[in-house]
Structure 1
Amino acid sequence: MHSIKLDLSIAAPGILLLLIAFVLPVTGILVLGIENVEGSFTSAHLVKFLTDPFYLAIAWRTVKLSLIITAICFVAGFPLAYIMARGGPKSRLWLLIAITLPLMTSVVVRTFGWMVILGRGGLVPQALNMLGLVNRNFTLMQTETAIVVGMVQVLFPFMVLSILGVVTKIDRRLEEAARVMGCSFIQAMRSVVLPLAMPGVVAGSLLVFTLSASYFITPTLLGGTRLPVLASSIYETATKTLDWHFAAAQSIVLLIGVLALLVPYTRLSGKANG
């Protein structure tokens, strides 16, 4: 009992900060989304979102791009995390610096950099033009490709670091045993390393998916007004049309979508870890 009281006293500041900075604002948003101007409860705002093809298309675009971004981060991040885990301390240190260094740079600065690279006359369009694949006026700006490229660069470290923490704990002798039993390197990776690394893969995938689904700056700058995602739609509704109730209703949809992924994962991981 004394240990429980001590744990609660230590955790009290963090719990208080969480209540003030997260629970109370989110509760206010939830209430605002199911209220009308008169202050009575209504589902009209949620019904408007769920029955309007324009907003449903925004929701689908958000989910689709988030899934693509997550898949690319996993395909590229798992091999890199494995190399970092199995490499020497020196190479691991330099790779870790290369992975974490972009996190020390503002997302806005990195996004503007992609705007220069992907825009008309940028490095990528010029290279494609020199290869004869596109014309001189080609640009990748305001396309889903630009959003995916920018978001992968922003969220890639989260996937790598999540997988790295798990792969470093996998005993190398398990891989050696698989190779001795006749498995090729790819078979050992698929049959031994990947199943044991799944907690890191799932954690990284959930982190990347939820962050990409709720990201605002990068999709807005690279996709523009032609390709709004749910976060940018919420911002536009709240700041330009000043319809706070409908913006809050969109926030409810986004929150429910994220919780729909997090809650099953929490329960499954809780059962797996006792």
Structure 2
Amino acid sequence: GNDTGMTVDSVASRVGVKGSADLGNDLQAVYKFEFEVQMDKGDILKNRNQYVGLAGGFGTMLMGRHDTPYKMSQAKDLFNDGVFENNSMTSVMQHGEDRVSNVLAYVSPDLGGVKLIGAFVPDEGAEGLDKDSSLTNLTSLAAIYGSTKKGLFVSGAMNSYSDVAAKGGKSYNMMRVSAQYSVAGLIANTMYQTSDESGKEGSNITANLGYKMGDLMPKIKYATNSEDKNSGNTGSFVGVGVDYKLGKKTSAYFDFGSFDKEMGANSKVSAAKSTADSISKYSIGLIHKF
């Protein structure tokens, strides 16, 4: 039979503070403390990006909790902060959407339009790291050209986990390349990534297309996923939607998405144990920024 239902979700709502302090000699102290608020469930705070660091002509150095360079390198997800964001897709996507604690990170200054980003998570003995493997639980590196806000954007990144307990006690190696072009109201991008989980390989292609017309932006997203035959995580996703700007800080959106049975069953937006050939969802949302 068909599985239907309705939910109320607070997707990635957050509050926080950020700032900087001039230390003289072209040096600044920077900080950010951001928390997620899940108003639908009554959960008040969950940790997001939280760090302190130093910034200057040499770039920026951070320590604390932060998105990995791998995550930062992706092109713009037009369905971000909704039920069809990349983090809701299949495991190849989810493994790359990480925000890690105990991180030491470096962001280079602008090098002719290119920025280099590196992050390392030291072995602190609490993440299940094989003692003979390496000095870090995680190494994440990225090279980024341009900006996702306008013009051409190109990036490449890699992640390497070593027997991390948070990842099920397995090792992961991931690579990602992204490209995006934005001009006038048009935004088009694509991203390809591969994942090797202790010998089990997978790949994913994601593409977004949107066109802003005044306060309205129609958009479409396509994703296809392929993993080893024993993983049961192969298929495709198609999503369409429209964003509408209600004011300077407020917008509304309507999204519709459909998964193949195999891909949907392994996503975060699946209907549990659904027997349908495809899984579809509608989402109506309101976003306010302050």
Scaled to the shorter chain, the TM-score interval is under 0.3
Q: 1 or 2 for the larger relative contact order (CA 8 Å, sep ≥6)?
A: 1
TM-score (norm 1): 0.23
Q: TM-score, normalised by structure 2?
A: 0.22
Please identify which structure carries the higher helix content: 1
More strand by share: 2
